[in-house]
Amino acid sequence: MTHIGIFDYGAGNLHSLVKAIEGADRSVSVDTDIRLSLKGDILILPGVGAFGAAVAAMRGAQGYVRSALADGRPCLGVCLGMQMLFDSSEEAPGSNVGIGLIPGRVMRLLTPKVPHMGWNEIEWVGSAKLPAAYFANAYVCEPDDVSSVLAWTTHQNRRFASVVRTANTVGVQFHPEKSSVAGRSFVNGVIDEILQCK
């Protein structure tokens, strides 16, 4: 039985995410203490909310989380969850210390239309795993080293990282749980893949 720990930092849409990943061979727990969530076989950082509130909910445990993930603890970050993997975000100046697993920062999406809402194509660096997905974001990740980027997406005149990976941690800027059958299949495939690597 695989245990999945979801960190609840007051984000919305947890029900959709849990429904997309639960199964007969998986138990899912939702905890407001990230240290409890890290006790599972995989940590999931869900994707709806504000960076500052999510960071505050970690109660200073960023270094603890970063160390666990750097040591190989599997993790999936979805949308805001992906952004939390970075050093900081301009969404929350003054209280913006992220987990810092991936060097870089999160910046406001500077396009004529913000937020970026709806379906968009995914441009994979290697073989394509999901052609398109549903996005809902006003901020994007800017990694210092693009070698962590597995896929890109272009919204209007702005190209940004939409899938990143380092160690056994994967971040996706889109919402696979809202991306139809293909998205749900993709997220479950990612979970299975990174669990095999631990």
pLDDT band at 57 (very low <50, low <70, confident <90, very high): very high
To the nearest whole number, what is the mean pLDDT of the chain?
A: 94
Average pLDDT over residues 101-111: 96
Tell me what pLDDT residue 12 has.
Answer: 66
CATH hierarchy code of domain 2-196 = 3.40.50.880
The active-site residue, picked from 116, 141, 155, 177, is: 177
Active site residue 177: yes
Instruction: For 14-29, write each residue's pLDDT tens digit.
Output: 889 999 999 889 999 9
Mean pLDDT of 102-124: 96
Does 142 qualify as catalytic in the annotation?
no
Q: What was the pLDDT predicted at 49?
A: 86
Is-catalytic flag, 79? Answer: yes
Band the pLDDT of 95: cuts 50, 70, 90.
low
Q: What is the average per-residue pLDDT within 159-183?
A: 97
- From 75, 79, 116, 155, the catalytic residue: 79
Domain-wise residue ranges, the chain: 2-196
Residue 198 predicted with pLDDT over 90: no
- DSSP class per residue in the chain: -EEEEEE-SS-S-HHHHHHHH-BTTEEEEEES-HHHHTTSSEEEE---S-HHHHHHHTTT-HHHHHHHHHTT--EEEETHHHHTTEEEETTSTTS-----SEEEEEEE--SSS-SEEEEEE-EESSS-S-SEEEEEESEEEEESSGGGEEEEEEETTEEEEEEEEETTEEEESSBGGGSHHHHHHHHHHHHHHHHHT-
